[in-house]
Amino acid sequence: METTRSFNEVRLYLFLLKAQRIYYPLLAIIAVPVNTVTIGILSRGKCGLSRCVTRYLMAMAAADFLVIILDLILRQIPIAFAVHFLPLLDLPICNVHALLLYTATDCSIWFTVTFTLDRFVAINCQKLKVKYCTERTAAVVLGTVTVLSCLKNSTWYFTLTAQYAYLNFPWFCAISLEFMESPIWGSVEVLHYFLSPGLPFALILLLNVFTVRHIVAATRARRRLRAHSGGGRPIDPEVVSRKKSIILLFFISWNFILLWAVFLVYTIWFRMWWLGIQSVIIPVFVQEIGFMLQLLSCCTNTAIYTATQTKFREQLKILLKYPIVLIAEFNK
C-alpha cells in the first residue's frame, strides 16, 4: 500500500512538472498584458474611482507585474526548461534576485491588505474617512510598505548564496546544510512566512468580517425604515448594492487565501521538517501546486477589484478597439 502511494505521488509530481511547461508560459502570456493594460487604464483616471482607490489598484497591479517578471519569467520558467537556461542560471546573482523577488511579493500581498484597510475605513469609520481615505495618505502608506518590505527581505541577501540551485525549493538559491538545520535561521524564516502571507490572511479576514457585519446591520436598519415608511419600491437599489459588496468582499478574501494557502502550509512544513519536526509528511507535488496557485493570484487580484467596475470595462473596450480604429484609419 505504501509503495503504491509513493508511486502515485511520483507520477503526479512528474505530471505537474510536464504541465508547468505549458502552464507557466501561458500564464506569462496572459499575466503580462493583463497587468500592463490594468496599469494603463487606471493611470488615465477615467474609471470613476477616487484617486485614493486608483493609487492602491495601480500599486497592486505594478507589484503583481514585478512578481510575474521576477518569479514566473526569471525563476519558474527557467527551472521548468532548465536544459535551455543552464548558462543563465550560472550567473552569480541569486541572492540579489531573491531580495527583489521576495520584496515584490511582500508588496503585492501587503498592498492588498492596505487597500482592504482603506475600504474598511471608508465603509465603517465615517469620521476617519475624510482624513485617511485620501490620495496623499495612500501614497504614504504604499511608500511605507515598500520600504518595510525591502528592509524585511534584506536578510535573504545575506542568508542565501549568489549561486542558483537549479531546484524549485522555497529559496531556489544554493544554501549550506548548516543553514537548513539552523534553529536561528529557521526561526527567522518562519517569521518571514508569518509576516507574509500569514498575518495578511488574518488581517484581511478580520477587516472583511467587520465590514460585512456593518453592511448587514445598515441593510437591516434600512429595511426597517422602509417598512415603517409604508413601502416604496419593492426592490431597494441600495440593498442590492450592499449585497454585491458583501459578495465581492468574500470573493476577494477567499481568492487570496485559497491561492496562497497551499504555498504557505508547505513552506512552513518544509522548514519545520529540516528542523526535526517530522510528524507529518507532505508530498513534494504539493509544493508545485502551491507555486502554481500563488502565481495565478498575480493575474486575478487586480482583475477582481477592477474588472467588476462598469467604467473600467468601458475603458477596456475602447482600448481593445483602438488597434482596429487605427487600421481602419490607415486603410483610408
Q: Is residue 268 part of a domain?
A: yes
Q: Total structural domains in the chain? A: 1
Q: Is 305 or 35 the better-scoring residue by pLDDT?
A: 35
Beta strands in the chain (DSSP E): none
pLDDT in tens, 256-283: 888 888 988 888 888 777 777 777 778 8
Give Cβ neighbours of residue 178 (< 8 Å, ≥ 6 apart).
none
Q: Is residue 280 part of a domain?
A: yes
Q: Is residue 1 part of a domain?
A: no
Q: Is residue 328 part of a domain?
A: no
pLDDT for position 64:
92
Residue 302 pLDDT grade (very low, low, confident, very high; cuts 50, 70, 90): low
Q: Lowest-pLDDT range, 66-80, 177-191, 277-291, 297-311? A: 297-311
Sign, Cα dihedral of 147, 172, 166, 72: negative
Q: Is residue 194 part of a domain?
A: yes
Percent of the chain's residues with pLDDT above 90? 28
Which residues lie across from 173 on neighbouring strands? 164
Task: Name the most confidently modeled range: 23-32, 213-222, 229-238, 269-278.
Answer: 23-32
Domain that holds residue 102: 21-316
Q: Is 238 or 143 the better-scoring residue by pLDDT?
A: 143
pLDDT for position 215:
79
Cell of residue 312, nine digits = 473600467
pLDDT for position 32:
93
Residue 123 pLDDT grade (very low, low, confident, very high; cuts 50, 70, 90): confident
We report the CATH number of the domain holding residue 152 as 1.20.1070.10
Please give the average per-residue pLDDT across 303-323, as a whole number: 74
Contact 318, 40 (CB under 8 A): no
Gyration radius (Cα) of the chain, Å: 23
Task: Name the most confidently modeled range: 232-241, 292-301, 311-320.
Answer: 292-301
pTM, full prediction = 0.87
Sign, Cα dihedral of 167, 110, 63, 148: negative
Please give the average per-residue pLDDT across 118-136, as a whole number: 87
Q: Is residue 128 part of a domain?
A: yes
Residue 130 has pLDDT above 70, yes or no: yes
| Euclidean distance between CA atoms 240 and 251, whole angstroms | 17
pLDDT in tens, 39-98: 888 888 877 778 888 899 899 999 999 999 999 999 999 989 988 888 877 889 999 999
pLDDT for position 24:
96
Residue 303 has pLDDT above 80, yes or no: no
Residue 179 has pLDDT above 70, yes or no: yes
Please give the average per-residue pLDDT across 119-133, as a whole number: 86
Q: Is residue 32 part of a domain?
A: yes
Please give the average per-residue pLDDT across 301-310, as a whole number: 67
Q: Is residue 326 part of a domain?
A: no
